[in-house]
Structure 1
Amino acid sequence: MRPKTRTSLVGVLTCGALIAAAVITQHDGDTGSPSRLARGPYVALGDSYTAGPGISQDSGDPAGCDRSDRNYPALVAERLDLKTADFHDMSCSGAVITDLTAPQSTDDGTNPAQLSALSGRTRLVTLGIGGNDIDFSPMIKRCVGAGALYRALGSGKYVPDDSPCEKQYVSHGTDEVRRKIDAAGEHLADTLGEIGRRAPQARVYVVGYPEILPSRGDDCLRAMSLAPGDVAFLHEKERQLNVMLRERAEAGGAEYVDTYTSSRGHGACAAEDTRWIEPLVPTASAAPVHPNARGERGMADAVLKALES
């Protein structure tokens, strides 16, 4: 997703982000169980939920991608004991699906088309993207503003079904966010086909976004300044995004990595010592409403679990 502007980082939810990876299995006798994981080459693609802005030292060029050396692709590569030459992290904050096939300008340099790192040698691909395509970060900011205004003009308190922001996106039977999710799905389908053409030997895993907000907003007022009904609305939009990512992955011959289930209860409104996603004002090293180091480790664990299955 996008912590900065479109030309630099990615936004919030975006997003993150979707992951792809590959497993080459070798069987021991008649056990049918894999004896080793693929050792690469591994290419990581994605937005800021993949890049991990603000977590630790930036890795690679351009600096405007805010790519952490402790993001989940780096942790996966480390666990697989990959050589530097066999690991290519192309993720970039602010990326949308079209940035996978064209250069992406940032506030500090230009990231090459992410798919340019793929080749016939590639064996693992992880892909985490889609949040910026539905403008999830601007949507959260808009909902925070709507909630603050609603509270200031009203009684100073919310009631459980208050959702001043949702009404700006859903009206007269038209769901603007749902429309963007569907459009992103079409673009993702084309992109998965292109990945298959460029890296025909690779196993591809699309990774969904971890929980950003809970299904109920009772505990989010202090951390996120969102009306309870809008917390539920944003939660549902992330769920719809992840469903689209799963369906498109499966239809495109890729596999889906579920980071949401293991992250439930660890979103931006959770306690400081357990959350994977930082709130609007981070208390750990991370961009606002983006994964912290704990979140990137959790996402790496989900990818590795998928590779071992």
Structure 2
Amino acid sequence: MHRVLRGIAAAGAAIMLGAASIAPAAADNDSPNRGRYAALGDSYAAGVGLAPLRVAGESMRSYEAYPVLLAVGAHRVTFLAESGATVDEVLEQVARMPEAARQVTLTVGGNDVGFVDVLTNCAAELQTVSCQAALQQAFVASSELPEELGLLLAAIRERAPQATVYVTGYPQLFQLSTTGACTTLDLAGFPYDPAALQTIDNAALGLNQIIEGTVAATALATLDRGLVYVDVTDEFAGMGACNPSGHIAPPAFMPGTRVPLPSSLHPTAEGQEAYAEAIGDEGFTSRY
């Protein structure tokens, strides 16, 4: 069986589903809001790995990120998403969003359920003590996420009572071929374990089910028609990191090192466009 290079596994904490050991950005790095639109979330919403905004700072926000695409300009969105954000940190973002916001986008949850630890401990081999411990911890964290996410949605609604809130899911990162191959890793000469990559992809689907279920349950309990789940599965179908033309950047490292580039396993510019398209299909408009 192929195995992922242990260098990839060791670097997982910096490249997994919006995870990065980067300090939150200061409030004065927020883009000005002229369009009553606030963008909350983690590095997938921030556009980590793409060309940064001039004032991005440590948040690593990009002008190619889906919030900027949706707003048709960085000056028309209060851009609060930042690399590495968890639900608790997004609560801090909520406190900085305008109360007059009419539209809010949110991508969060990957860091909360421990995808970092799963990749770090499981990519090289599934059947290890450390991997099984990481999977168990992810299971526990997943069981806690609905309550935490529900409280976050309530906070957003309290802060911006008139807003439509678009809560996105995540794509499957790798998407092996029907033969179990990962072309990009094959071309790069990286050995890998297909079962490990499939487990990570399945975990993304499970996370999406939690997010979608929480949005639906919250909307039903509060009779809130302004909570919308955005499924990005179709937009990323067949376009994972294993596809050389995919919408997820494959693992890549600084020259001569095993330090991952920020783009690793994050949406490409085309991936950000796919996010924007999926959100637009759910009714988002830049008219405000």
What is the TM-score normalised by the length of structure 1?
0.70
| CA deviation vs aligned residue, 1:242-291 (integer Å, no higher than 9, x gap) | 000101112222111111222011111112xx2111111179x9611111
Partner amino acid, structure 1, of 2:212: R
- Alpha-carbon deviation of 1:11? 4.7
SS of residue paired to 1:178: helix
Counterpart position of 2:50: 55
- Alpha-carbon deviation of 1:189? 0.6
Contact 2:18 2:266 (C-alpha < 8 Å) held by counterparts: no
1: CA distance between counterparts of 2:18 and 2:84? 9
- Alpha-carbon deviation of 1:5? 10
The structure-2 alpha-carbon separation of the partners of 1:308 and 1:187, relative to structure 1 and needing over 3 Å to count, comes to: closer
The structure-2 alpha-carbon separation of the partners of 1:212 and 1:298, relative to structure 1 and needing over 3 Å to count, comes to: same
Contact 1:41 1:87 (C-alpha < 8 Å) held by counterparts: yes
The structure-2 alpha-carbon separation of the partners of 1:121 and 1:69, relative to structure 1 and needing over 3 Å to count, comes to: same
Match for residue 181 of structure 2 among 198, 219, 226: 219
SS of residue paired to 2:216: helix
1: CA distance between counterparts of 2:81 and 2:54? 11
Partner amino acid, structure 1, of 2:61: R
Partner amino acid, structure 2, of 1:246: E
Counterpart position of 1:207: 168
**1:249 counterpart = 2:220:** no
Counterpart position of 2:276: 300
- Alpha-carbon deviation of 1:211? 2.3
Match for residue 137 of structure 1 among 116, 119, 131: 116
Counterpart position of 2:82: 92
Contact 1:11 1:136 (C-alpha < 8 Å) held by counterparts: no
1: CA distance between counterparts of 2:50 and 2:17? 16
1: CA distance between counterparts of 2:272 and 2:98? 26
Counterpart position of 1:35: none
- Alpha-carbon deviation of 1:58? 2.8
Counterpart position of 1:28: none
**1:191 counterpart = 2:152:** yes
Match for residue 69 of structure 1 among 63, 75, 82: 63
- Alpha-carbon deviation of 1:53? 1.4
Counterpart position of 1:121: 100
1:261-272 superposed matches below 5 A: 261-271=234-244
Contact 1:12 1:138 (C-alpha < 8 Å) held by counterparts: no
What is the TM-score normalised by the length of structure 2?
0.75
Partner amino acid, structure 2, of 1:281: A
Counterpart position of 2:201: 235
| CA deviation vs aligned residue, 1:201-236 (integer Å, no higher than 9, x gap) | 001110001221226682135366431111221111
The aligned length equals 243
**1:13 counterpart = 2:40:** no
- Which 5+ residue runs of structure 2 have no aligned equivalent? 1-10, 20-33, 220-226, 255-260
2: CA distance between counterparts of 1:170 and 1:240? 18
Contact 2:15 2:264 (C-alpha < 8 Å) held by counterparts: no
- Alpha-carbon deviation of 1:164? 3.2
Counterpart position of 2:131: 168
RMSD: 2.9
- Which 5+ residue runs of structure 1 have no aligned equivalent? 16-38, 102-112, 148-162
Counterpart position of 2:248: 277
2: CA distance between counterparts of 1:194 and 1:233? 33
| CA deviation vs aligned residue, 1:8-43 (integer Å, no higher than 9, x gap) | xx651247xxxxxxxxxxxxxxxxxxxxxxx94000
1: CA distance between counterparts of 2:112 and 2:180? 28
The structure-2 alpha-carbon separation of the partners of 1:165 and 1:213, relative to structure 1 and needing over 3 Å to count, comes to: farther
1:150-165 superposed matches below 5 A: 163-164=126-127
Contact 1:11 1:48 (C-alpha < 8 Å) held by counterparts: no
Percent identical among aligned pairs is: 29
Match for residue 46 of structure 1 among 41, 44, 47: 41
SS of residue paired to 2:38: strand
Query: Counting helix residues as a fraction of each chain, which structure ranks higher?
Result: 2
Contact 1:52 1:286 (C-alpha < 8 Å) held by counterparts: no
Large movers: runs of 4+ above 4 Å: none
Tell which deviates more after alignment, 222-231 or 116-125: 222-231
2: CA distance between counterparts of 1:190 and 1:57? 31
Counterpart position of 1:182: 143
